[in-house]
Amino acid sequence: MTIAFETTSLPIIGAPMAGGTTTPELTEAVARAGGFPFVAGGYLTAEDLAPLVGRMRETTETFGVNLFAPNPVPIDRAAFDAFVSALEPAAAARGITLNPEPVDDDDLYAEKVDWLVAHPVPLVSTTFNLPTAEVVDRLHAVGTQVVATVTTAEEARTAASCGVDALIVQGPRAGGHSGTADPTREIEDRATLDLLRDILAEVDLPVAAGGGVDSEAMVAELLDAGASAVVVGTLLLRSDEAGTAPTHRTALAADEFSQTQLTRAFTGRPARALVNDFVREFDQIAVDAYPAVHHLTKEFRAAAKKADDPHGLHLWAGTGYRNAREGSAETIIKDLGSRFTRP
């Protein structure tokens, strides 16, 4: 079977960056360049998802939809309460009153799966957890390919046993949330290339790979090692079509921000961001409590965005962020992948 992301003219995938960063204009630019575009389904309802998928159908026959698969983690209430107490002074300074009760949700995953079964798309991927065999079977029944995001060889083996068609290997140097199925684990730093090789040695499935991609040279390394395509996200954050907040765009190019770090401080789930004052102050007491911490800090982060305050905002960035540049995403994708055009 040929996987949908193997059929585009360029072996480049535009990462699905939820929360408004992956806009319809960005997916269209990726498609025009010859890359594989993803609709970012995270944080959306099925009703929100429908017009985005409809617009994508008008642009290309080859695209995917990414979903957050639920992965509930028991909350240490004492640790959560301590985090709330620590955050309260900073929130009060911004005129925000925090809700001390943990808020839970499953990102309406089942509703979106039902909608995608009723309105099939070429490919569906999951992150935050692996899809169950039941979900895989339901999507297969309507002709949709299913891809799992994996961050370890063990996750790759488990995903294969669930019947997925392919894998997206996400290295720990990727920006934004880690797709790990075990958000409580300590994620060791390693090159995406090494993780890719480990997984290819364990699982006989097509794979795409990403995480810390900073250049055409790295694209070549991953393709040479056996990846069918390379996923880029951070390199698109400053593109014309991305929905990246102006404060975030500026920070990516500012000398003030000189390193990235995996932190649970913003959402309760490991995510790589530029190190700012929020990370410095709250990372050490952050708790494994997604989406409770996400909901707790949501208004705080929105206020920082409105105030153009980079030190209160989640500045997602992979380790290759210094090579993110302005310009059309179409040009960026072509520059990364044109040397590897498929026959």
Strand arrangement, sheet containing 207-210: 12-14, 229-232, 207-210, 166-170, 145-150, 123-127, 64-68, 38-40
Nearest to 42 by CA among 12, 14, 22: 22
pLDDT at 271 over 90: yes
What integer pLDDT is reported at residue 125 of this predicted model? Answer: 98
Nearest to 297 by CA among 148, 91, 130: 91
pTM > 0.85: yes or no: yes
Beta bridge partners of 209: 169, 230
pLDDT tens-digit series, residues 135-160:
999 999 999 999 999 999 999 999 99
Q: Side chain identity at 291, as an amino acid letter?
A: P
Band of pLDDT at residue 45, cut at 50, 70 and 90 = very high
What integer pLDDT is reported at residue 343 of this predicted model? Answer: 82
pLDDT at 1 over 90: no
Per-residue pLDDT, averaged over 64-91, amounts to 96
Write out the two tokens for 264.
């649970």
Q: What is the DSSP letter of 284?
A: G
pLDDT tens-digit series, residues 283-340:
999 999 999 999 999 999 999 999 999 999 999 999 999 999 999 999 999 999 999 9
- What does the longest C-alpha to C-alpha distance in the chain come to? 59
Percent of the chain whose pLDDT exceeds 70? 100
**Which residues, including other chains, have CB under 8 Å from residue 190's CB and lie 6 or more apart?**
171, 172
